[in-house]
Structure 1
Amino acid sequence: MYEDRCMDTYATQFFNGHLFAKIGDDLWIIDTGAPTSFGDPDILTIGTLEFSVASDFMGMNASALVEFIDHPVAGLLGMDVLGKFDLLIDAPRSRLVLSTETLDLQGTTIPCDSVTGIPTVEVQIDGHFNNWFFDTGAQVSYWQDDSIADYPDAGDLTDFFPGFGEFTTQTHYVTIELAGSEFSFRCGSLPGLLGMSLSMAGVNGILGSEILKGRVTGFFPRRNQLVLGVAETASGSLPHSSWAKWYDFAYEHSFGAFYTQLTDLTIRKITDIVDAPAQVVDFGAGTGRLAIPMGLEGYSVTAVEPCPGMLDQLKSKPDSNGINAVLSSMQDFESERKFDLAICVFTVLLYLPNEGELMRALRAAHNALVYGGRLLIDIPSKQIFRSYQHSDPDLEREITITDQGNDVFLYFENTLIHTDDGTSSYTDQFPIRYWPQSTVRDLLDKAGFSLVSDLSDHFTGSGCQYWLMEKRRG
């Protein structure tokens, strides 16, 4: 990927769209969009080099920075320091490499220029060329163009800028092209004076930190190059494996009553479909969100889950006795036992990467059922493929969903968990897939299922279509 030369490596984390690096005992924001570094202490050592750091920049000091971002930080590293190095920002492994020697990275090379010491890149939108700042300190990207309002809404965002303070912007999902590759990013508009300052510099947008997530990025300011490595998943890991022990905690805190209500509603619908003690197979069972309550209702439950850590969490719960826990993906599941009901809900389909794997999964469900057996399945709508943030005293969770094209998205999560024992953190990244309802319906038919009823009205607000299918004879 990149060569191991004379370099210094620092642990990183993303929080609220900002990239932090731990240098010594302190966290610093890595901000290529700032010409000047500032913070406390006033001397920063990187490798064998020492840098004098200003106490403030445009009225912003370390204390004000902490207040704005609501996260401990010693200061901000701008281009006066970063410009002395070659940088490798390795999001999948949560590390930053700084080197005074030349580093190389395989990937898409994007030429850079600079305006007032800040790097710029050429961005194409709908065939029109734009000049944007490359700003790793920006939570999202920005585009100063009235036509941004024509793009899909992505919600409001509160951001800040030194010398200007805090502001709120409406954001939209905009597809941009960089060196021939397409990306879909959340973009906002800068208010009045900030937008004017960009225009005066001959720039009409900002490429924010979202471009960094899920990949290794090389920024080589001394050679005027930005290099985007291929988006990747965590090496050798399955989705959720890095945070299986925190899975329930994260979801209960993130979604609260809705999480519990959707679970209860699903259990009630299952009891309407088939009576206990029916045989039920739960695909993508996770930590037992449905399997354990079904067991308590008197059903004979087989929980199928591909992630060992998630299955271990299920089996560790007191009420898991009697649950048949099977380590397997849905598409690889085989059983001599035949089931009365198969369950494939809570967005299991989005983990299936291509049509071949989706068909294998549906056939596995078909093979597992008795004739006349039912399949309860949900089909995630495209509206759930959106970035998400949650913050409370116990949990700081940031999920970024990046459109990779052809209905494939990259999921990237960075989360901090605060307990009485201290602070823990995890990151995760993996591809997910949007499946049009027409495609799923066609493959269900080919797999041997018929539609019994559309239950979507019973699950309003879930972001999914819910279908009850029946295994046909012949």
Structure 2
Amino acid sequence: MTDSHYSDPRLVALYDALNPFADDTRFYLDLAARTQASRVVDIGCGTGLLACELALRGHAVTGVDPSRAMLDVARRRPGAGQVEWIEGDAVQLGAMNADLAMMTGHVAQIFLDDASFDATLAAAHAALRPGGRLAFESRNPLVSPWLAWTPDQSRRVTDDTRLGTVEIWQQLIDVQSGRVRFETWFRFIGRDETVVSVSELRFRTQAELSDALRKAGFGAMEWFGDWARSPVDDASRELIVVATRV
């Protein structure tokens, strides 16, 4: 069993229903407006919800993602024709003189080793103009969110027009050195099918994230503990950072 969230057509089709326009989307749209970002890069753009919303609001947007299946969905959205889509990773961006780069949907946590995370931050730095900003979020390890990744606590049901009723739950496998492995179960009730996707995420502390950003060449950093821009404390569920390129 492998992580098929980004490749299995059934799971890709469910992605938007499970990750709709929400407070995080509003945060990044507001950030782009506040900073008057003319050119925006969406790293790990997925199905393109944020990239297309930005484009419809007048920003010049480049969305990059390694999943062809996710980009196929993105290209069918309203506003998709105004976005430059790149199938690949951040290293392919090169120097773009962008005003704002972002990694949403906890994309920062899929980089399990420091080398891949450092390379992505360096690529974001290279894509930005001097004074440009990189924004992303990562779940706060101090609150141990994985403790709720049990069938009883995580179970939910969604109804999809194409796939019918789907029951979804998570099961924690193990936690080791900041890496958390877990299963996500998808039971397609009408089809009598079950898909199990195994995922692994890296949980970095605020200090670890700060060190990585400085190493990549970022200077001033703003930190928020939630989408309402509250300060970070030990009970914050999110570590949201807006870092400025030196």
Identity of aligned residues (%): 22
Correspondence for 2:185: 414
Equivalences for residues 71-90 of structure 1 within 5 A: none
1:468 corresponds to which of 226, 229, 242 = 242
Deviation at 1:462, TM superposition (A): 8.2
TM norm structure 2: 0.83
Instruction: List structure 1 segments (4+ residues) > 4 angstroms apart after TM superposition.
Output: 422-425, 459-462
> Residue 402 in 1 paired to residue 176 in 2?
no
Do 1:250 and 1:395's aligned partners in 2 also have CA atoms closer than 8 Å? no
SS in 2 for 1:309: helix
The structure whose residues are more often helix, as a share, is 2
Aligned residue identity for 2:47: T
> How far apart in 2 are the matches of 1:451 and 1:425?
46
Do 1:282 and 1:344's aligned partners in 2 also have CA atoms closer than 8 Å? yes
> How far apart in 1 are the matches of 2:110 and 2:76?
25
Correspondence for 1:260: 22
> How far apart in 1 are the matches of 2:79 and 2:192?
29
- CA-to-aligned-CA distance 1:316-365 (integer Å, 9 cap, x gap): 223211111111123x3332422111002221111001111111111011
> How far apart in 2 are the matches of 1:416 and 1:307?
23
Deviation at 1:294, TM superposition (A): 0.3
Do 2:174 and 2:180's aligned partners in 1 also have CA atoms closer than 8 Å? yes
> How far apart in 2 are the matches of 1:328 and 1:463?
30
Q: Which runs of 5+ in 1 are unaligned?
A: 1-91, 93-232, 253-258
- CA-to-aligned-CA distance 1:121-157 (integer Å, 9 cap, x gap): xxxxxxxxxxxxxxxxxxxxxxxxxxxxxxxxxxxxx
2:198 corresponds to which of 422, 429, 448 = 429
The structure whose residues are more often strand, as a share, is 1
> How far apart in 2 are the matches of 1:266 and 1:437?
20
> Residue 240 in 1 paired to residue 6 in 2?
yes
> How far apart in 2 are the matches of 1:390 and 1:334?
37
Structure 1 residues 392 and 446, CA gap change in structure 2 (3 angstroms)? closer
Correspondence for 1:193: none
Equivalences for residues 161-176 of structure 1 within 5 A: none
Structure 1 residues 391 and 265, CA gap change in structure 2 (3 angstroms)? same
Structure number with greater CO (CA < 8 Å, separation at least 6) is: 2
Deviation at 1:282, TM superposition (A): 0.5
Deviation at 1:280, TM superposition (A): 0.5
Correspondence for 1:360: 119
2:217 corresponds to which of 448, 452, 464 = 448
1:345 corresponds to which of 104, 116, 131 = 104
Correspondence for 1:83: none
> Residue 321 in 1 paired to residue 81 in 2?
yes
> How far apart in 2 are the matches of 1:425 and 1:298?
41
Structure 1 residues 360 and 465, CA gap change in structure 2 (3 angstroms)? same
> How far apart in 1 are the matches of 2:196 and 2:89?
22
Aligned residue identity for 1:289: L
Bigger radius of gyration among the two: 1
> How far apart in 2 are the matches of 1:444 and 1:279?
21
Do 2:140 and 2:236's aligned partners in 1 also have CA atoms closer than 8 Å? no
Correspondence for 2:130: 371
> How far apart in 2 are the matches of 1:462 and 1:269?
20
Aligned residue identity for 2:176: G
Equivalences for residues 164-203 of structure 1 within 5 A: none
SS in 1 for 2:155: strand
SS in 1 for 2:79: helix
SS in 2 for 1:465: strand
SS in 1 for 2:45: coil
Deviation at 1:298, TM superposition (A): 0.4
| Aligned-CA RMSD value | 2.3
Aligned residue identity for 2:170: I
Aligned residue identity for 1:260: A
> Residue 390 in 1 paired to residue 156 in 2?
yes
Structure 1 residues 377 and 260, CA gap change in structure 2 (3 angstroms)? closer
Deviation at 1:414, TM superposition (A): 1.2
- The total of aligned residue pairs comes to 227
Deviation at 1:454, TM superposition (A): 2.2
Do 1:284 and 1:305's aligned partners in 2 also have CA atoms closer than 8 Å? yes
Q: Which runs of 5+ in 2 are unaligned?
A: 160-164
Structure 1 residues 377 and 395, CA gap change in structure 2 (3 angstroms)? same
